[in-house]
Structure formats: C-alpha cells, structure tokens
Amino acid sequence: MAEPMTLAWRQYRLERKMFWRNPAAAFFNFFLPLLLLFLLGTLYADNQANLDVLVPGIAGMSIMTTTFVALAHNVVFLREQGVLKRLRGTPMPTGSYLTGVFGNAVTNAAIQLTIVIVAGRLFYDIGWPKDWFELVVFSLAGVVCFAALGVAFSHAIPNFEATPAYVNAVFLPVIFISGVFYDAADAPKFLHDIAQALPLVHLIDGLSAAMVTGTSLADNLSNLAIVALWAAAGIVLAIRGFSWEARRDG
C-alpha cells in the first residue's frame, strides 16, 4: 500500500509542476472565472440580489473549469501524444496515476473556490459561507462529478486539435443555461427544463445554499442526489471508454 501511495504522491507533484508551467491552463482555471466575476460584479454593484446569485454561480463554473474542461483537454493531449501509452508501460499502477491526476483537479478546485469565497466576502458583501460542511460536501461532489464527466467526454474527442471545439460546445451552453450569471429560475421554461436535467445548476444551488441563503444540507439532498447520479454515470463511462493509446482514425 505504501508504494502505490508514494507513486500517487509523486504523480500529484508532477501534475502540479506541469500545471503551473502551462500558462493557458492557469488562465482558464483561475484568471478567466475571476475576470468574469470582476466584470459582472461591477455591473451588478448596485444589486445585491444579483451578486448573491453571481458569486455561487462563478464558484460552480470554477469547479467545472478546473475539472471537466481541464481533464478533457489534458487526457486527449496525453493520449494523442502517446504519453498515456508510455505511462501504461511503466511500473506505476493505474490507480496511482489516476489518484495523482484527480488530486491535482481537487487542489485547483479548492484554490479557485477559496479565491471566489474571499472575493465575495471582501468585494461583494456576500459574507463568509453560512454552512462550511455543506460547502465542502457539494464542492467534493461537484469535483468528482465533473472530473469523471471530463474524462468520459475525452473519449468522444477524436484528436487534440478538435478538443477546444468539442469542449466549448458543451461548456459554454451549460454555463449560460445553468444560472452562472443569473437566476436559473428566471430563464424561459424550455431552457429551465434543460438546465434541471444537468448537474451544474444543482451544484450551484447547493453552493448558493451553503454560501448565501444558509439552508441546510438536508433541504438540498435532491440537488446533491442529482449531482451524485451524474457522477456515477461519469465514472462508469470514464472507466469503460478509457484508452491508453492514441486513436488511429483521428
């Protein structure tokens, strides 16, 4: 047990180094959500109700960018460049590698959430989260859900050049209909119904309850259940479709 955990720790450290050496990854994971928070927060400066919606929405989007978006890009790149195939040929257990990758995603999500929470407290009068335990539960559920979905979605991407188009075709519509920038309840009914079938709006609702409204975890179990169901589906699809080798038809 000690050796696989040691290898997982080393892989995690390697993932951290590679992340900070990739300016594009740092931009999309940290700077872009904060830029949107600053710009829209400035527009909503005189409307506290909108700010109460915006900050949890950006927090939810941050979890999606640091997991779904990042892993979809990274898995396709490593697969198509043959890196995963070479890793498969090393003594490193698969579990150690995936643990290191997942740990990196968790770290990025935790850093980004911390930044958003502090920004909401200092600049947008949100206050500190009302329920820290609920915040942790929904954050972890969101990370597992979108990390699994990111790996699963990478199986559908034929080559690395197509990755931005594939990822943005999912990411952009989801954040716009899921209430990242406005209250999802105010959306037209057909968009509201679509959003309710997706995990992001339920993650945002849970984060909003923990950060703003203070409603308990018991009152948000339905939101947590939907995120968990998507996580379970993502895990199954991620495992069943995972390939260590580059596609020959890409």
Residue-by-residue pLDDT tens, the chain, 250 positions: 458 788 888 889 988 888 777 776 677 677 888 888 889 988 888 889 999 999 999 999 999 999 999 899 888 988 888 888 887 777 777 778 888 888 888 898 899 899 999 998 988 888 899 999 999 999 999 999 999 999 999 999 988 899 999 999 999 999 999 989 988 888 889 999 999 999 999 999 999 999 999 888 999 999 999 999 999 999 999 888 777 777 655 4
Helix or strand or coil: residue 179? coil
Would you state the structure tokens that stand for residue 221, as one six-digit string? 């179990």
Residue (of 248, 246, 234) closest to 68 by Cα position: 234
pLDDT of residue 84: 83
Secondary structure letter of residue 235 according to DSSP? H
In a domain, 246, yes or no: no
In a domain, 248, yes or no: no
Cα pseudo-dihedral 239, 243, 244, 249, rounded to 10:
-170
In a domain, 143, yes or no: yes
How far lies 132's CA from each of 127, 153, 217, in Å? Answer: 12, 31, 10
In a domain, 247, yes or no: no
How many CB atoms within 10 Å of residue 186?
10
E strand or H helix that includes residue 34: helix 32-43
Helix or strand or coil: residue 60? helix
> Structural domain of residue 84, as residue ranges?
2-241
What φ, ψ does residue 45 adopt, rounded to 5°?
Answer: -55, -30
Would you state the structure tokens that stand for residue 37, as one six-digit string? 């928070």
- Tokens 């997982």 belong to 8
Cα(82)–Cα(186) distance, integer angstroms: 46
pLDDT of residue 64: 94
DSSP-derived secondary structure for 94-157: HHHHHHHHHHHHHHHHHHHHHHHHHHHHHHS---S-S-HHHHHHHHHHHHHHHHHHHHHHHTT-
In a domain, 47, yes or no: yes
Helix or strand or coil: residue 200? helix
pLDDT of residue 203: 97
Cα(128)–Cα(49) distance, integer angstroms: 16
pLDDT of residue 248: 58
pLDDT tens digits, one per residue of 76-109: 988 888 888 887 777 777 778 888 888 888 898 8
pTM summary value: 0.90
Number of domains in the chain: 1
In a domain, 139, yes or no: yes
How far lies 182's CA from each of 17, 58, 203, 207, in Å? Answer: 36, 10, 15, 14
Are residues 138 and 210 in contact, defined by beta-carbon separation less than 8 angstroms?
yes
Buried b / exposed e across 77-102, counting CB within 10 Å, b at 16+? Answer: ebbbeeebeeeeeeebeeebbbbbbb
In a domain, 33, yes or no: yes
In a domain, 128, yes or no: yes
pLDDT tens digits, one per residue of 139-165: 999 999 999 999 999 999 988 899 999
